[in-house]
Amino acid sequence: MYTQALNTAETEDRGLEDAARAAQFQARIDAEERIEPNDWMPAAYRKTLTRQISQHAHSEIVGMLPEGNWITRAPTLRRKAALLAKVQDECGHGLYLYAAAETLGTSREELVDAMLAGKAKYSSIFNYPTLTWADIGTIGWLVDGAAIMNQIPLCRCSYGPYARAMIRVCKEESFHQRQGYEIMLTLCRGSDEQKAMAQDALNRWWWPVLMMFGPPDATSQHSDTSTKWKIKRFSNDELRQKFVDATVPQAQYLGLTIPDPGMTQDADGHWRYSEIDWTEFKQVLAGNGPCNRDRLAARRRAHDEGAWVREAAASYAAKRARRQTAQAAE
Amino acid sequence: MATPNTPLWEVFIRSRNGLAHKHVGSLHASDATMALQAARDIYTRRGEGLSIWVVPSTAITASDPAEKGMMFEPAESKIYRHPTFYEVPEEVGHM
């Protein structure tokens, strides 16, 4: 059940009983059982998932901004309708994920406030600007493509509400990637300028997209326990490699060049990419990417400008409830 | 200032005529009308349903997962409630 209302704050027992419960919990995970909101879970499991699911939700919501930027300037009505539907989907994905995160005992309002205060992170990819229409194609093709790579294994995550939310998200996400690839294909079959625009977008997005899979396995700080708890099924580097192997032939079909002159295909057919510039990743995560301040400012503005709507809806509901009570008393 | 909490609702959707409403997720809304509209926008963007129920989450009483052993034990020991418990000769045919 997706209810935080059922999660009455149970004081977690400490000491010996904890060790026994933790062992029992791990045995359930090892047996591929799903953990549900009201089941006992270690505090660290709850904390890790709250962090991960809420960051995932924030990413969906902030991810609406770079694409929303092009809704009014889409080249045709068909493209505009599709982009609008895609941005609506991202909003929906954010809401499924907030609902899943809430089952762990933190309210959506608290989670959103943490993001607005700059205390919670979201995917660094959304701190890059969408300069041309080709960026919208590239985001659908590569950013959503990378997101799908990440999200498919999450459909089997040990935490039930997260896994169920991911199943819904993945079903919808495939339209996103296909519409992006179609935009790229149209540009690549168009004029020289259009093809150059597509290549330029790929050049700018390629490396940030590879960074979406997170730091290399050797330095990732959350991986070990997440793997043990079956939140994570594949390592960052494994998923990144899968993504690169799937994407190179798609780029070749478009006639575009991946901006990595050192890339080679090994004997097993895997495409080996060059060293990723992790200082850029850290800079963007630390708030110094091209659009970090802009994104947060846009979210804060939207939240503040929506305050009167929330207040009006709440006072209308309160007025109706009062009236009903009064009528019942008559 | 912290954002005040908006009530939580559980959403149930009936996909086709003849099937039961099924829990699909939850959402926040200040009243039932807004909850229904939000449920349509969030959970039926691709024709997923013909009917929606929204229920305040606080109205749900749930069984305690810690006691599921005891709760469901009475059914576990009664294999004679299943058709396969009974032997019918093959000559009799499908029954």
Q: Which residue has the higher pLDDT, A200 or A223?
A: A200
Interchain pair A3, B3: CB under 8 A: no
Interchain pair B30, A316: CB under 8 A: yes
Predicted TM-score of the model (pTM): 0.89
d(CA A121, CA A303): 17
- Nearest-neighbour CA in chain B from A113: distance (Å): 7
Q: Within 13 Å of residue B65, how many CA atoms lie on the same side as its CB? A: 11
Task: Kindly give, in sequence order, each residue whose CB lies less than 8 Å from that of residue B92, ignoring residues fewer than 6 positions away.
Answer: none
Residue A12 has pLDDT above 50, yes or no: no
d(CA A38, CA A10): 10
Count how many pairs of residues, chain A against chain B, have C-beta atoms within 8 Å: 81
Tens of pLDDT along A145-189? Answer: 999 999 999 999 999 999 999 999 998 888 999 999 999 999 999
What is the residue whose two structure tokens read 């207040």?
A311
Interchain pair B3, A303: CB under 8 A: yes
A216 touches chain B (CB under 8 A): no
Q: Who among A4, A110, A310 is closest to B6 (CB)?
A: A310
**Residue A4 confidence (pLDDT):** 36
Interchain pair A1, B62: CB under 8 A: yes
Dihedral sign from CA coordinates of A280, A283, A287, A288: negative
A15: pLDDT confidence band, cut at 50, 70 and 90? low
CATH architecture classification, B6-88: Roll (3.10)
d(CA B12, CA B56): 11
Instruction: With H, G, I as helix, E, B as strand and everything else as coil, classify residue B39.
Output: helix
**Residue A10 confidence (pLDDT):** 44
What is the residue whose two structure tokens read 């709760």?
B71
- Nearest-neighbour CA in chain A from B31: distance (Å): 6
A29: pLDDT confidence band, cut at 50, 70 and 90? very high
Q: Are A97 and A40 in contact (CB under 8 A)?
A: no
B positions 60-89 inside 8 Å of A (CB): 60, 62, 64-66
Indicate the Cα dihedral angle A16, A20, A22, A27, nearest 10°: 170
Nearest-CA neighbor of A244 among A214, A271, A269, A204? A271
**Residue A174 confidence (pLDDT):** 86
Length of chain B: 95
Interchain pair B62, A112: CB under 8 A: no
What is the residue whose two structure tokens read 């939207």?
A302
Which one-letter DSSP state was computed for residue A35?
B
Mean pLDDT of A308-330: 92
Tens of pLDDT along B21-75? Answer: 999 999 999 999 999 999 999 999 988 899 999 999 999 998 888 788 889 988 8
d(CA A203, CA A308): 43
Interface predicted TM-score of the whole assembly (ipTM), two decimals: 0.83
Measure the CA angle with vertex A234, ends A99 and A176; round to 5°. Answer: 55
